[in-house]
Amino acid sequence: MSKLERIAVLVPCLNEALTVAKVVDDFRLALPQAAIYVIDNGSTDGTPEIAAAHGAQVLYETRRGKGFAMRTAFRRIEADIYVMVDGDDTYPAESIQALLEPVVAGKADMTIGSRTMAGTSSDFKHLNRLGNRILPWLLRFLLRVRVTDLLSGYRVMTRDLVKSLPIAARDFEIEAELTVKSVERSFRLIEVPIDLRARPEGSFSKIRIFRDGRRIAWTILLLFRDYRPMAFFGGLGLALMLVGLIPGLVVITEFIKTGLVPRFPSAILAVALELAGVLSIAVGLVLSAVSRRFQEIEIKLDMLGDRLSDDS
């Protein structure tokens, strides 16, 4: 690592007075050439003052939420390589070289510090561990994205990735969104094993397992709808049509046997379900064509952006 690469370390913080100093110092030591930024979200325990005293640059974001904090950082901070890490001293600064290496060498656009890969020993709470199993499974099943640690907050990213992903997350969905949208745009992701430490005594996690877990699952579902509309609406449509077969077959066999349709409600239900299914499939077809066109527009916009920056 060396050269002219400007590295920015981004540390989102909400009341991390106990640990932010150590995080800033550790990263200063591990990456002396990097600029360290703490993005404060209205801490009331003096976090920004401590961070500033330890030489970090402090950015303020008043909209509450890790997603908002990171989006502000991504927009306002200029660098070639971005490091994202929690301010709660749970991620090891010692691993930063291993995370940086693939990005600096041009082998990856984002590296993710995985807390669950083989050979790691991470100090998880049980519920967190469960969420860390269910959500990646959901992601693999719906979006075919395979990662061992979807929710890791320890990442290294290229400027290109940071400046081009349209991130809409407000809170802890940001990690899932970063992962899916990167894969969707063919950025190269590499996971690097790291060990997670527990927060020190007296320091509290901001994540609320059920509320945030639900939000993250919901985010994955919406991404599924947006990025694979044919699978989403087509699957829904097929399911409706299959269910419609039940009353439908009853009515039809009866009609073949007797020439009569005595079960009017069943007949109507069958038709309604089949039509709803066809409609849903049609919606899937339309949306997938639209989203393909949007992909093309996005590529053109990228090309235009490149050309504009070449000219200037």
Ligand X SMILES: Nc1nc2c(ncn2[C@@H]2O[C@H](COP(=O)(O)OP(=O)(O)O)[C@@H](O)[C@H]2O)c(=O)[nH]1
Residues that bind ligand X (CB under 6 A): 12-14, 16, 39, 41, 64-66, 69, 86-88, 90, 153, 205-207
Closer Cβ to ligand X, 13 or 79, answer by number:
13
**Ramachandran assignment for 169, one of left (phi > 0), alpha (psi -120 to 50 degrees), beta (any other):** beta
Closer Cβ to ligand X, 64 or 225, answer by number:
64
Please report which residue ranges of 86-173 form alpha helices under DSSP H.
Answer: 96-104, 126-143, 159-164
Q: How far is the CB of 111 from ligand X (least distance, A)?
A: 18
Closer Cβ to Mg ion, 153 or 248, answer by number:
153
User: Could you say whether residue 152 binds Mg ion (CB under 5 A)?
Assistant: no
**Residue type at 269?**
L
Closer Cβ to Mg ion, 125 or 146, answer by number:
125
Any bridge partners for residue 38, and if so which?
A: 11, 58
For residue 12, the partner it binds in Mg ion, ligand X, none, with Cβ less than 5 to 8 A by kind, is: ligand X
Among candidate residues 152, 174, 205, the one with its CA nearest the CA of residue 19: 205
Any bridge partners for residue 157, and if so which?
A: 82, 110
User: Could you say whether residue 88 binds Mg ion (CB under 5 A)?
Assistant: yes
Q: How far is the CB of 133 from ligand X (least distance, A)?
A: 15
Site for Mg ion in 18-47 (CB under 5 A): none
Q: How far is the CB of 78 from ligand X (least distance, A)?
A: 20
Closer Cβ to ligand X, 153 or 247, answer by number:
153
Per the CB < 8 A criterion, the answer to whether 229 and 288 are in contact is yes
Closer Cβ to ligand X, 205 or 295, answer by number:
205
Among candidate residues 191, 10, 195, 11, the one with its CA nearest the CA of residue 103: 191
Tell me the residue nearest to ligand X as measured from the CB.
Answer: 41
User: Could you say whether residue 175 binds Mg ion (CB under 5 A)?
Assistant: no
Q: Which stretch binds Mg ion (CB under 5 A): 87-95, 143-151, 212-220, 298-306?
A: 87-95
Per the CB < 8 A criterion, the answer to whether 180 and 139 are in contact is yes
d(CA 38, CA 51) in angstroms, rounded, equals 7
Interacting residues of 176 by C-beta distance below 8 A, sequence separation 6+? 135, 139, 150, 151, 169, 216, 219, 220, 223
Q: How far is the CB of 66 from ligand X (least distance, A)?
A: 4
Q: How far is the CB of 132 from Mg ion (least distance, A)?
A: 13
Question: Distance of alpha carbon 182 from its chain centroid, rounded?
Answer: 9
Q: How far is the CB of 90 from Mg ion (least distance, A)?
A: 5
Phi then psi for residue 179, to 5 deg, are -65, -50
User: Could you say whether residue 90 binds Mg ion (CB under 5 A)?
Assistant: yes
Residues making contact with Mg ion (CB under 5 A) = 86, 88, 90
